[in-house]
Amino acid sequence: MNVNLVSVAQKMAPMNGWYGGASGTDLVKAAKAYGRSVEQISDKNRAITVLKSGVPLII
């Protein structure tokens, strides 16, 4: 998806109330706002499987 950083920051600002960073929750909400699917992973083996399949992780 081709979006610029300013556009993403503007989408996130209403979520966290400021432009100085983002929480994990903000990242999930922003991804969903762009129509992306999100999986929150807490298992190391699942993370390895996802990475091996070519999907990037945000930690």
Helix residue spans in 3-55 (DSSP H): 5-16, 24-33, 44-52
Question: pLDDT, tens digit, for every residue of 21-51?
Answer: 677 888 888 888 889 889 989 999 999 999 9
Q: Which domain holds residue 44?
A: 5-52
The DSSP element (H or E) to which 13 belongs, if any, is helix 5-16
In a domain, 11, yes or no: yes
Above 60 in pLDDT, residue 19? no
What global pTM score does this model have? 0.62
> How high is the pLDDT of residue 4?
87
> How high is the pLDDT of residue 41?
92
In a domain, 26, yes or no: yes
> How high is the pLDDT of residue 6?
83
Provide the number of structural domains found in the chain: 1
In a domain, 58, yes or no: no
